[in-house]
Structure 1
């Protein structure tokens, strides 16, 4: 969307979030909701010849750790955040209506509780004319962010606060740009396929929540749209309140190379081996009991979701996979327990006399509906179309429900194969044998067999969603 000021969006496709670099017109910038992985933010600032002078956080319970403390340390940035958040580090605490003069621009703090109870939006005005608003997890494109992160006893209250906050934002002039943090792909959560930015006028016409005729209709619609979310979300609010530790090169440098003998000992003492190789490589041979989480945009979400918090982690990767991508994605969600990587990979493990496990790959065309099929996609994906008779267990629930799923000859499917591989690895880790990973998804099956997919929930689900 066009605006009268220069705003550069830096999108994390994996977590589904955007942070923003606001050009203040004097060679400096304000960054809104910076992630802990600042590489893309700093690169964009260099490209635009901007010095980061301010960092603003809209709320504590984001689905990532904030990079504001790091920017204060490295760049001398002033941190702007809600006074109600009681942050334990140096910052300028703002309350509703407080204004910060940034050269020719004015930023006004707007209390927009609902997603969290200390949530602020930041309205940017140029010569008293509103040009855009950073809405964080309040108004998002086509929806509003979830109000249940502070627990079930607060959900209804926060949903009603979200209603009031959205009505307040909707009263801004129609051309006002809307710059949300949460977007498509965020479990915080936004409709799939939504645009990243919008305007107030566009949201008034297209956002179904803004069309709700009253508060109760709004609350029912918002709560009815919620899917599941990773448990690690609940750990990040306090981490962000305290302020994530400042990182140096030692925290983000190469992983310690661990010989097979040491990895064997770590496994015996409870460490989790996370295999980040592509699905085919994992299936052809992996350490028994390892967890497959292919290194891709969504790696961080699933790492935080399926690996127990605080567990020591040993990484297995291929030589051409950038270890920095593994480390930064983990740090971004607060996982700081990676102790190293298997030196020499699976070849070194086998050469040391240790066994390798293998998992069969199944082409979508060969999936037999008479067998036991487990679909591990999110509920909204499953209800949109699935192989008939497929049992639904969201990937995030597999570890908790594995005892109820123990059967022979199970094939696991998702949309492409990566989540299926993670689920299969969790089943194998729990002792199940003869597990297959479907390469492809339900639409591949339907095309191969010339049969329609089932929709809705046509059979009981085992997912605790």
Structure 2
């Protein structure tokens, strides 16, 4: 990257995304693909002494709500986005070849459909020199973003568009930076462990999809790599088109404090109690039928996967867990129906004489004779190695099948234990009892028992 350009990547490890802050050299900045949770972006801009003057979105995001409208409201930022996206709020609509003068630097819109119909990449230029390209959900490090978010019936058509878009980007100079939005951990399809940024030259040398010259083979490879994704992906693009409501940051740090009796009544009336404490705390004692979704980087993903957007939510947390962090992560994916939180936490629930539940964590040597082993990892993880005889249902699909599963003693497992504890809570809500969670994952079991894992062909 040119020494004249200062760029900061702001990474959300939980959603697997990056947004970018570009110093425009006059005390202002361009931000690309900023999420609704602007705390990290604000911190980076504040540290550099920058005011955000432009907010660009590469596409109508399905995995998070955009902050573009918020930045226009708070900072007077000009929103740059595809005209074909038909956004229902003030923005500068761009199309193929349109240029934006950033003051010394320039931005050129490149039509790169595939991940979405209206997808744009933004080529950043210093004079006539291409510095880098914000590729959004087109070319990503080691792969390309999924093409099935507009429906399986359009996945092949969009995969063919993605093929053309990647070839178009590949002819940029080899030293051009590749700055994608989606990265490792994103359900928009990025390979695990990949770097967040790259260059055109590096991608030509290492990205297996760029090495496929035949369009049909490319389509087969891309579509064959697609796994499941959270259901909130199906509604966020429309919310981004309309523009998420502008938020008042002062209202996002607190919730009504609810006594145990009120929480019990709300739960019995259909509210979902979300226990955000670490899995080991949930294991020891929890409100019966509470969903275990630990407050960690992946909190938003599993909250959106397991909790319907229309459901009222009551939070349980430990005093040392930041409520604002929980609320902002939820707002990032459009969940805002928090009724309140359990005042005093689980201790107050027990002190009120209300019943509690527990879900034991067991070691590999304790599995024998405990009944069914249910592995709730993603399909690709299961295929790479699992316990012989294990039943496989992805955590995201378990709610739809939990009531149809035979009620029997069950050991839940994943890679480390958090998803397995979440799965145990889903089963408990569906009436299952005699549940346990395996400490660790299949590798830990194989090491402890000396037995081999089973792999899918």
The normalised TM-score by structure 2 is: 0.98
Provide closer, same or farther for how the CA distance between residues 3 and 160 of structure 1 changes in structure 2, counting only shifts above 3 A: farther
Whether 1:21 aligns to 2:21 is yes
- What residue number does 1:451 align with? 451
Whether 1:148 aligns to 2:126 is no
Q: Deviations over 1:245-275 (max 9, x none)?
A: 1111353121110111111111121100000
Whether 1:416 aligns to 2:416 is yes
Asked if structure 1 preserves the Cα contact closer than 8 Å seen for 2:370 and 2:410, the reply is no
SS state at 2:389 partner: coil
- What residue number does 1:239 align with? 239
Asked if structure 1 preserves the Cα contact closer than 8 Å seen for 2:184 and 2:192, the reply is yes
Asked if structure 2 preserves the Cα contact closer than 8 Å seen for 1:364 and 1:442, the reply is no
Whether 1:352 aligns to 2:349 is no
State the distance in 1 between where 2:249 and 2:215 align.
Answer: 50
- What residue number does 2:99 align with? 99
- What residue number does 1:219 align with? 219
> Greater CA deviation, 241-250 or 133-142?
241-250
SS state at 2:240 partner: helix
Asked if structure 1 preserves the Cα contact closer than 8 Å seen for 2:364 and 2:449, the reply is no
> Greater CA deviation, 92-101 or 387-396?
387-396
- What residue number does 1:339 align with? 339
4+ long deviations beyond 2 Å: 1-4, 364-371, 403-407
Provide closer, same or farther for how the CA distance between residues 105 and 369 of structure 1 changes in structure 2, counting only shifts above 3 A: farther
CA positional deviation for 1:365? 3.6
- What residue number does 2:8 align with? 8
State the distance in 2 between where 1:356 and 1:2 align.
Answer: 59
SS state at 2:234 partner: helix
- What residue number does 2:194 align with? 194
State the distance in 2 between where 1:267 and 1:115 align.
Answer: 39
- What residue number does 2:368 align with? 368
State the distance in 2 between where 1:136 and 1:365 align.
Answer: 46
Asked if structure 2 preserves the Cα contact closer than 8 Å seen for 1:17 and 1:181, the reply is yes
Asked if structure 2 preserves the Cα contact closer than 8 Å seen for 1:3 and 1:131, the reply is no
Asked if structure 2 preserves the Cα contact closer than 8 Å seen for 1:283 and 1:358, the reply is yes
State the distance in 1 between where 2:3 and 2:421 align.
Answer: 44
Asked if structure 2 preserves the Cα contact closer than 8 Å seen for 1:365 and 1:444, the reply is no
CA positional deviation for 1:364? 2.9
Asked if structure 2 preserves the Cα contact closer than 8 Å seen for 1:131 and 1:177, the reply is yes
State the distance in 1 between where 2:265 and 2:375 align.
Answer: 34
- What residue number does 1:177 align with? 177
State the distance in 1 between where 2:352 and 2:176 align.
Answer: 63
Residues paired across the two proteins, number: 457
State the distance in 2 between where 1:403 and 1:3 align.
Answer: 59
Q: How does 1:53-64 map to 2 (within 5 A)?
A: 53-64=53-64
Whether 1:117 aligns to 2:117 is yes
Q: How big is the alpha-carbon RMSD for the aligned residues of Structure 1 and Structure 2?
A: 1.3
SS state at 1:424 partner: helix
The normalised TM-score by structure 1 is: 0.96
- Structure 2's unaligned 5+ residue stretches are none
State the distance in 1 between where 2:94 and 2:369 align.
Answer: 58
